[in-house]
Amino acid sequence: MSSKIILETKNLTKVFHSGLLKKRSLVAVDNLSFNLHEREIISLVGESGSGKTTVARIILKLLPLTDGKILYKGKDISEFKKREELINYWRHVQGIFQDPYAPFNLFYKVDRVFNIIFSLFQEPFSKDDRMKMIESSLKMVDLNPRDVLGKYPHQLSGGQRQRILIARSLIVNPEILLADEPTSMIDASTRVDILRVFLSLKEKQGLSIIFITHDVGLAYYISDRMLVMQKGQIIEEGKVEDIIANPKQDYTKKLLSSIPTLSKKWSFSERIGTH
Amino acid sequence: MSILSAENIKAYYKLLDSDVKAVEDVTFSLKTGEILGIAGESGCGKSTLAATLSTVILPPLKLIDGRLITEDGKNIFELKEITLRRKIRGKYLALIPQSAMNALNPTKKIKDLVIDAVKAHYPKMPKEEILKNSMKQFAELGLPSRVLESYSFELSGGMKQRSIIAISSLLNPKVLVADEPTAALDVSTQQAVLNLLVSLKEKGIVQSIIFITHDIAVLRQIADRIMLMYAGMIVEVGDTEDVIFKPLHPYTQGLISTVIVPEPDIKEKVLTGIPGAPPDLKNPPPGCRFHPRCNFAMPKCEKEVPSLFSKSGRIVRCWLYD
């Protein structure tokens, strides 16, 4: 790809220690290196426990890393230690998580999630300017501000809430979005709207997105490149079309063959007793 | 022949000021030897229907109306609690509730749970015999016998779910109702669980299965017929392939078109989704419950609830097929 690299990870490693005197250890992420280009969506795909979420949390600086380097536009992010530096980093790199219910307080109106981001980033804007920013970012996620502002969380659907959370992260004009299973708690008929939002953010706003999912179908639909993870390592990497058409690793082949599709029906009689 | 038939089942959640009409006028029959898939989005009444079918109707859920007929013509809803416990639950009809694997008691071994379950039905059966039978059943289903000696936290998610399924089928129920048995499992473990369910049926341990899920691609793999629900009502019933490749109801068409699978042609497809959100069941829209989101809505749809129309062997609830 010809465009510039915006985020680069080099030999990322994370070891969790547990037990008495931290004697037991678990290598969650093992020597992971990948690049994210501008205007690109990459997917991290893997089964549970493969270390996808740990990668996201390390990149968002919510977890310290054991070894390796993350370069954001050539700068090592482990050097960001002061609060101002961190906040400045988060201005460019924002995260969206799985649960669209947890971030809302059910006693307050949904507008409050926006206030939190304004106060954290201490934007010196007047009330009217803030309102304009909120409205423009809501429009970016295909929501009509009149439909959602001033409502309580229980009055909105899961899909609307998730889009509000995406809109919130867009307020600070980030360059990278980390989406950790953003559609796994959302119904099929509204999931498509969220995927469309991500695609239009890439096309129109030029965002780079790291999309973390266990669903190979979603990864294939939304992303340009796919990284297949197993036990903390990237075992296969490439254009989504290539990986789907001819997977090279046995694990990828097995993963693809166990995904139920509409066109093919499995023959169960051959498989019974194999597990 | 039908092993279970539901007639006009209505079940509401009774609240102080209003009712949540979670299951409205559900009629279907389950044939002997088939896997019936029930699909729909969250809040469409799938799990409420599962609870009603398995006669675990706990307040605030209340059965308003309807009959559930067994093979020999008895109405299950009219039976006394003691008969239900002795003859129906676990023996005629067994339920695998949603996320049951998280409810395994961590301080008990799986074999203790097995003994508990069987003792509830046969208080006089000696423990050794129960264990011998269950060991045989577990082996037949491809589960290693160490599972019986394990605590639940020693097992993986897929193993827990498969043990739950094995335990609920211990008494050879005729009908097994599985409510989202593969939610929260990885695709490869999901495959193992589906295998297990199919082999339960093929080995004659259970006769028929009602499989409830939100994932249509899974139903494609195991169901013989699919029943789609929307906002508490049946919208379409038909053979799996017919429903998936030639959906009749506008909601089914919308839902099938949003299934995303890793197949080459999906990238070119423009996925549209269904505009809007499912209705609040406290106050469902009059007429067809889908009309506010439907592209084909006619004036009639806003006023009258469509009945279930038969069209070339399939059942569909839509005025387009009147």
- The larger pLDDT score, comparing residue A20 to residue B107, is at B107
Closest residue of A to B158, CA-based?
A: A275
| Residue-wise pLDDT tens digits, B32-67 | 999 999 998 888 888 899 999 988 888 889 999 999
- Find the DSSP H helices in chain A: 52-59, 83-92, 112-121, 127-140, 145-148, 158-170, 188-200, 216-222, 240-245, 250-257, 268-271
Structure tokens at B100: 């049951």
Tell me what the pLDDT averaged over chain A comes to: 88
- What average pLDDT does the segment B202-223 reach? 92
pLDDT mean over B264-276:
79
B45 close contact with A: CB closer than 8 A: no
Residue closest to B215 by CA, chosen among B242, B191, B248, B246:
B191
Average predicted confidence (pLDDT) for chain B: 90
Maximum separation of any 2 CA atoms in chain B, in Å: 67
DSSP category for residue A201 = I
Average of per-residue pLDDT across B220-227: 94
For range B286-291, the mean pLDDT: 92
Question: Is A106 an 8 Å CB contact of chain B?
Answer: no
User: What is the rounded distance in angstroms from the CA atom of residue A48 to the CA atom of residue B154?
Assistant: 17
Q: Which residue of A has its CA nearest to B191?
A: A258
Q: Is B322 or A167 the better-scoring residue by pLDDT?
A: A167
Average pLDDT over residues B92-119: 88
Q: In what order do the strands lie in the sheet with B2-14?
A: B19-31, B2-14, B61-70
Give me the count of residues in chain A.
275
Sign of CA dihedral B237, B161, B41, A189: negative
Confidence bin at A274 (pLDDT 50/70/90)? very low
- Banded pLDDT at A269 (limits 50, 70, 90): low
Q: What percent of chain B has pLDDT over 90?
A: 50
What end-to-end distance do the CA atoms of chain B give, in Å?
A: 28
Check B220 against A260: CB less than 8 A apart.
yes
CB atoms within 10 A of CB A85: 12
Among B5-14, B195-204, B260-269, B313-322, name the one with the lowest average pLDDT: B260-269
pLDDT at B241: 92
Q: DSSP 3-state assignment of B293?
A: helix
Please state, in angstroms and rounded to a whole number, the distance separating the CA atoms of residues B157 and B186: 9
The CA distance from B183 to B257, in Å, is 21
Q: Does ipTM surpass 0.90 in this model? A: no
Q: What number is the average pLDDT over the span A206-218?
A: 92
Which pLDDT score is estimated for A1? 53
What tokens does A172 get?
Answer: 């600070």
Express each pLDDT in A9-66 by its tens digit: 999 999 998 877 778 888 999 999 999 999 999 999 998 888 898 999 999 999 998 9
pLDDT-derived band at A2 (thresholds 50, 70, 90) equals low
Query: How many other β-carbons are positioned within 10 Å of the β-carbon of residue B295?
Result: 10
Q: Which residue has the tokens 């389950």?
A: B30
Instruction: Identify the pLDDT of residue B14.
Output: 92
What's the mean pLDDT in A233-261?
A: 91
Residues B229-253 have pLDDT tens digits of 999 999 999 999 999 999 999 999 9
Do strands A208-213 and A225-230 pair parallel, antiparallel, or not at all (unpaired)? unpaired
- What count of Cα atoms within 13 Å lies in the side-chain half-sphere of residue A138? 20
Integer Cα distance of B160 and B165 in angstroms: 9
Q: Which residue in A226, A268, A271, A274 has the most chain B C-beta atoms within 10 A of its own C-beta, making it the best mutation to test that interface?
A: A268
Nearest CA in chain A to B273: A189
- How much is the pTM? 0.88
**What is the C-alpha to C-alpha distance for residues A73 and A35, in angstroms, rounded to an integer?**
11
Check residue A275 and give its pLDDT.
43
Q: Which residues pair with B211 in a beta bridge?
A: B37, B178
Inter-residue contact B36 to B4 (CB < 8 Å): no
Average pLDDT (A139-168) is 88
Q: Report d(CA B219, CA B213) in Å as an integer.
A: 8
DSSP state of A152: -
Give dist(CA A211, CA B138) in Å, integer. Answer: 40
> Chain A, 171-230: which have a CB under 8 Å from a chain B CB?
187-193, 195-196, 214-221
Can you list the domains of chain A with their CATH numbers?
Answer: 5-257 (3.40.50.300)
Question: What residues contact B96, with CB distance under 8 A and at least 6 apart?
Answer: B164, B165, B168, B176, B177, B178, B179, B181
Share above pLDDT 90 across residues of chain A, in percent, rounded to a whole number: 40
Question: What are the sequence ranges of the domains in chain B?
Answer: 2-246
Tell whether domain B2-246 is in CATH 3.90.420.10. no
Determine which of A41, A242, A262 to mutate to test the interface with B (most B C-beta atoms within 10 Å): A262
Range scoring the smallest mean pLDDT among A181-185, B108-112, B262-266: B262-266
